[in-house]
Every structure is written in C-alpha cells, then in structure tokens.
Chains A and B, each alone.
Chain A
C-alpha cells in the first residue's frame, strides 16, 4: 500500500510539472500587458516601452518562464508587477478567506449530500427520492451568477434576513462571520450538492443489488443497518472521489461566486490580476488552484485505496 501511495504522490508531482508551462503559456497569450493596463490607452509608446523594460517584460518568454519556475521551486512566488508587493503577502489573506469559505461549505454540504443520498437510496423510487433528485438537479442547473443574484434578491433585498455582501473583519467572531457568509455558502452548496447526492444514491443502490445484500436481507437484517453497515462502506470509493472533485471545485471554481459577492478571496484576486495583466500574480493563483486540485484528487485516491480492502491488500 505504501508503494501505491508513493506512486500516486510521484504522479502528482509530475502533473504539477506538466501544469506549470500550461499556466505560464496561458497567461502569455493574454492580449496586452501590465504596462498598457497601468498607463492606459493615452500613454505615449516610449513611456510604455520604458515601463516594460523596468519590469523585465521585454525579455524572451523562455527566460521569464525559467526565472519563474526556479523561483517556484524554492517557494518564491515573486513580486506583483502592478503593486510591487510580495505575492506571498498579497495571497496569504486571500487564500485563507477562500479556504474558510470552502471549508464551511464543505462541512455543511458533504454531510447534507450524503444524508440526502442515503435517504434517496433507502426510499428509491418513492416521491421523496424523486423530489430530492429533481430538487438538487434544479439548483445545480441554475448558473451560479444567477443563483447568487436570485438569493440576494430574495433573502437580502426583499426579506432582509441575510446580508447581501459578506464583510469580513479580523476581529469578527466565528458566528458573525458565518452569518455574513450565509449567502455565498448557500450558493456554493447548491452548486455542489447534486453531484454528491446523486453519486451517493446511485452507488448505494448499485451495491444494494449485489448478492450479499440479498443474503443480509434474508437473514432479517433491518433496512437501515443494511444501508449504513453493509452497502454504504462498499459504496464509499466512488463517493469519496466525487466529494474530492467537488471540494476541489469549491476552492478552484469559486471565481463566479467570489465575484458575484465581491468576496475578498483568491479567485477574485486572480480576476483582478487578470484585469491589470499582473501576470506573476495570475500565475501564482493558477498554480495554487492546480496544486489544490491535484492534492485533493491524490487525497481521494489514497482514501479510496484505504477504504477498499481489495485495493488495500492487492500490493
């Protein structure tokens, strides 16, 4: 098993290495650069050229890539071109905000999805099952920016129950930050719920059709025990995978939610950085998102190996 895990880790590192030129190249093909975006369209050409030279943008792409990569390897993310600040310093607060939003959403949405999935599986084919399936599918089908606007309109503008704009202050208590994050959390929960619920439901139903479940049934094991102790553990592997995917989505795919709620997280920092063509900052955010994706998938792989005796003992 140790070998399998090490093998996966190595693969993860290779993936990261493959991702780095992709992140770099995709920022290279953005039209315009930071000098143009800071100086505006009125700036004379020689002023723009002088700024490019000062920022080192006139060097060939492969030189800049090598500089960037060698910095990355020693944990140096570089300096933001637009503000001249250390990127590590710019990112740390924002990353914490995004992780906090993702973590709270995960803590709420994962158990909720699993419970809804199990209930659906137990009551498969009933009205309740169909309501859960259709309900979760409906909320995932609404685009997030629209869902965000809709929730704000109903809960903040009309009913005035929840705040429309999350305001985070360092001195805030946990409860009050939860309160101000309520709508972004709800929007994100809606976005990830359907996947996990339906996967739990289908995986459990799948297992329910196997012979040993029939055996358990014939022995007279109660329904809830069959689901919780016989079927669910055997359905865990695909469920963990889909949960990991959705968690990765929570961290990396929150661009729209952070923008819609003007939430000061990493994704919005990245959007702002793209607008000012602050390439090192975009690259740093891009790499962090990639690392998160790879790490969570790796973690899911390892967890499903651990939870599955067949995989666990095969090596």
Chain B
C-alpha cells in the first residue's frame, strides 16, 4: 500500500462533495433575499438614527452632496457681504465704524468744555465726584475726548464747613 494511492482514492471520495447541490432554484432567490435583508436593516437603522446623524451620513456617502452644500454656503456668504457693502454705500451715516475724521458732533464737547472754563463753577460742587470715578474707562471711549485734546476744567475747593 502506498501513500499516494491512498490519497488518490481519498481525492476520488472527496470529489463526491462537489456533487452535493442545494435545492433547485436556490441561487435564483439567494441574492434577492440578501438585498431584502439589507434594505430592511437600513430602514430599521434609519428609524432608529436621529435626523442630524442621518444628515451627517449623507456627507459620508455622497461627497458630491457635501461639496455642493459647501458651495451653496459660500455663495450665500458672498451674497451677504456684497449686499451689506451696497447698503453701506447708499446710507453712509449708518456706518458701523466711527469715522476717524473729526465730525461736527465731535466738536461739541470741546465747545462745552470751553464754556465751562469761562463761567464760574457752581457752589458746593463735589469735586471728587467729578474727578474720581470708580468705573473703569471703556476701551471704546477715549479718556481725553474723541479728538485727543485734553479738557481743562477749573477747579475750586470749598473749605467752609
């Protein structure tokens, strides 16, 4: 008895396995069943997934959708900027940013300050209340006026009790 011969007859016997076949028509239905199970699983997953996760999944599945969505956002932003600039040109007074040039309104405090210098101070004026303030100056309000000039104010001290 030789080993090769034994394996040869084993090979012959194993060839029987190739003749074991599933019921007729089995493979005609197989792929349809798999696809149906996949669809059922997807429907189940969709109903269980919150809407925002499904929205994010759309980006993963369809990069084209993601890029078109981003393009639409960019266009919207661009339109917003252009529209805002146009509205600025039509109404310059409504500018969000203060003009660095001295306007007529900025002169008003200076005039007030000059007037106060020429007039005598009101009696019993609490000087410390005016000159010392506990509130910190706001960064948007210049300490010495919008024009950068130092205001002069006449000081008076009342020593009477």
A and B form one complex: no
Give residues in B with beta carbon < 8 Å to A. Answer: none
